Structure 1
Amino acid sequence: MLLTYRALKRASLAKKLRITAPNGIDEGSYVRIGGIDQWISIRGEDLSNPVVLEIHGGPGASNLIFAPRTRAWERHFTIVRWDMRGAGRTFAAGGPAGQGEMALDRLYTDALEVTEHVRARLGVAKLLLVANSFGTVTGLRLARNHPELYSAYVGTDQNIIGGGRDTSSYEALLARLEKAGKKKELAKVVAMGPDRTAWSAHEWSEHAKIVVTTDPLTYDTMKTVVIRSLWFSPFHNLRGLRSYLKGMNFSEQLGPQAMTVDERAEGTSFRLPFFLFQGDSDVLTPPEPARRFHEEVTAPVKDFALIREASHFASFRHPDQFLDLMLSKVRPVVTGDAAVR
């Protein structure tokens, strides 16, 4: 019965996702990036719209599963979703042995190759860079170093990593666990210590799981948005679901690498429009560090906004709010046109 309902729901979502507009695009294929075949999806109803390149989070968590939730975005933007090495269909194609070098620097170089591929494929000079969660580490680096390739940077679930110095979110987690009487989880977090640069991949993953499962809004979002989107994804059969989760486990090795990054040392000067849209109740990547970083940023245009009643995965829990921010704040800057409502 459950599988029958899933099949009917997937068919309904696949129908919802059809793009029939004469100037639209709906294609997905493997492209040789960084020496391996990587999956790239391009969807939109009008190729004259700005082209968004998403840098997904996780690590290893492809955004392709959210396509039904973000269908309305495709009326105003052409959305490029790339499954990084270690993620989604890219992981499924090559398996663990076929992912090559798993390093932040490699993801950065891959992203530049993907950028050049998309620019050539669609005949556009610049892409609108939209990064979420773990992807924001790579996203900031791309935005700092290549304003000639990107029309603007939009970060959501934005990580602000301080080279291990900022322990505020760690201390907030300790306080929350102590208040809730979560003694087992509290002991685990205390044992890890506040220095994230010293965490193993397992500890990094365990910390994220504790944050997600002990915060009611985040846990609800994980169940109703993330897991539900994965279960009903028209792009993933049952084998694809298993591979998706295996890819996330495989990609955990990237977590500790990111903890050594120091965003302020890498630079707060951006030569392109800069936007941060953060969930107002996000406990995994809290809004205040992102707000403070935004205040220090110099950019031709910059803005910061909160997505209401949102934890982590803010843009996917409230895709309507995120789209409104994109249309009212970002698209006019990118296109020079008036805000779209």
Structure 2
Amino acid sequence: MKRQLLKIVVLIMLIGVPLILFLPSRTPKYKTTSNNKNSISELKMVEIGGIEQALLIRGTDRDNPILIFLHGGPGYPQISFARKYQNKLEEDFVVVNWDQRGAGKSYSANINENSMTREQFVLDTNEVIDYLCKKLNKNSVYLVGHSWGSELGLFVVDKYPEKIKAYIGIGQVVDGTKGEIIAYDYVYDQAKENNDIKSIEILDKIGVPPYSEAVKDTVAQRKILTRYNGVEKQVNTLKDIIVGCIFSPEYRGIDGIKLALGSKFTADTMWGHNKDLNFINDMPSIKVPVYFCGGRYDYNTPSILVEEYYNKLQAPYKEFIWFEDSAHFPQFDEVDKFTKLMVRIKNTHELK
């Protein structure tokens, strides 16, 4: 009996694992009501910048304005868990999540390493905007940039301001090296206060930024920073990604494998590229309304540096919003506050 049961289990695994890996991904449709007959829910691969890239497009009313999220990393996409935090936003926007070049569902072993540049990502973003505007009969979008996506976002805004109604920076990158130094000093002080000898030894070994080994040294520092809540305050996005890769219909097993491969690929090709970046000097003015969301505990991209940039920035309208119980992910740590902010931004700028 036990042997027969074992054979059945093995057979199920032999059949089931490939199915889990290769079943087609999808995104759930909305239950049809009188309020969402004009809804849109699509997960599709679109040719962007000469390669297939994944877009998740969701909204209860396709006539609502477009809201595009530029994820962090590079290589830290959020299609696998986006709906967990954005379902309320879908009532007021057509919410778009995009697995960027080389990340998640958009990873391919055939991607040319030489294409993994900020300039190419800016061009890709412009293509995404044009594709969505044509598809949904719009002229412009709201653009949210998080972490690396906030670096990308500002360059997009600077180059294509006529296509952006408002820019929302979360975990905003300001000065590549200075930000890393502030983060290093913060976590070193935390380690000393807690008599964390092991962490102090690691930090002494990698030294003050800029790091000699960008990927390895940054990862080592971030592990310690995470321990002291300088990256995530309430959420665990790695857990969200893992759970999403296993259970969400948007991601299948093969997509989880691609996400892992893409994460390494983007790190190897792009980390450390922005050590000379300084928006305070290089981009003192922006031609669109700007909102910065600062997590009070964010030392991944230190909010105190974002506030310094905000105070000096010239823009037609600007606002800095503190998220008091957040670190680097206020859009997830305080999702209700972020959602209300986005609705207020929509109501402020939509009729202008």
Q: TM-score, normalised by structure 2?
A: 0.83
CA drift of 1:305 comes to 0.6
CA drift of 1:270 comes to 0.8
CA drift of 1:234 comes to 2.8
Q: Work out whether 1:24 is the aligned partner of 2:36.
A: no
2:60: which partner in 1?
45
For the Cα contact (< 8 Å) 1:163–1:197, is it kept in 2? no
Q: What is the percentage of aligned positions where both structures have the same residue?
A: 24
**Structure 2 vs 1, CA of residues 129 and 165 (structure 1 numbering), >3 Å: closer, same or farther?**
closer
1:186: which partner in 2?
200
1:250: which partner in 2?
265
For the Cα contact (< 8 Å) 1:274–1:301, is it kept in 2? yes
2:94 partner letter: T
Matches of 1:246 and 1:32 in 2, distance apart?
Answer: 20
CA drift of 1:132 comes to 0.7
Show CA shifts across 1:41-63 (max 9, x none).
21111122110111110211112
For the Cα contact (< 8 Å) 2:102–2:265, is it kept in 1? yes
Show CA shifts across 1:195-229 (max 9, x none).
32644222223322332234388275226655555
**Structure 2 vs 1, CA of residues 164 and 308 (structure 1 numbering), >3 Å: closer, same or farther?**
closer
1:322: which partner in 2?
338
Show CA shifts across 1:250-283 (max 9, x none).
2113121123211123212011100001222222
1:286 partner letter: P
With 158-167 and 234-243 compared, the bigger mean Cα shift is at 158-167
Matches of 2:288 and 2:230 in 1, distance apart?
Answer: 37
1:10: which partner in 2?
none
Which of the numbers 193, 211, 216 marks the counterpart of 1:202? Answer: 216
User: Which of these two proteins has the greater Rg computed from alpha carbons?
Assistant: 2
- How large is the Cα RMSD of the aligned pairs? 2.6
Matches of 1:221 and 1:68 in 2, distance apart?
Answer: 12
**Structure 2 vs 1, CA of residues 312 and 51 (structure 1 numbering), >3 Å: closer, same or farther?**
same
CA drift of 1:165 comes to 7.8
2:50 partner letter: G
Alignment of 1:301-320 (within 5 A): 301-320=317-336
1:36: which partner in 2?
51
Show CA shifts across 1:20-68 (max 9, x none).
4211111121111112111112111112211011111021111212222
Paired residues, number: 323
Matches of 1:69 and 1:22 in 2, distance apart?
Answer: 23
For the Cα contact (< 8 Å) 1:283–1:311, is it kept in 2? yes
**Structure 2 vs 1, CA of residues 156 and 229 (structure 1 numbering), >3 Å: closer, same or farther?**
farther
2:76 partner letter: A
Alignment of 1:230-245 (within 5 A): 230-245=245-260
**Structure 2 vs 1, CA of residues 119 and 153 (structure 1 numbering), >3 Å: closer, same or farther?**
same
Structure 2 unaligned spans of 5+: 1-12, 14-19, 21-25
CA drift of 1:175 comes to 0.5
With 266-275 and 188-197 compared, the bigger mean Cα shift is at 188-197
SS of 2:175's equivalent?
coil
Alignment of 1:127-166 (within 5 A): 127-164=141-178
**Structure 2 vs 1, CA of residues 296 and 157 (structure 1 numbering), >3 Å: closer, same or farther?**
same
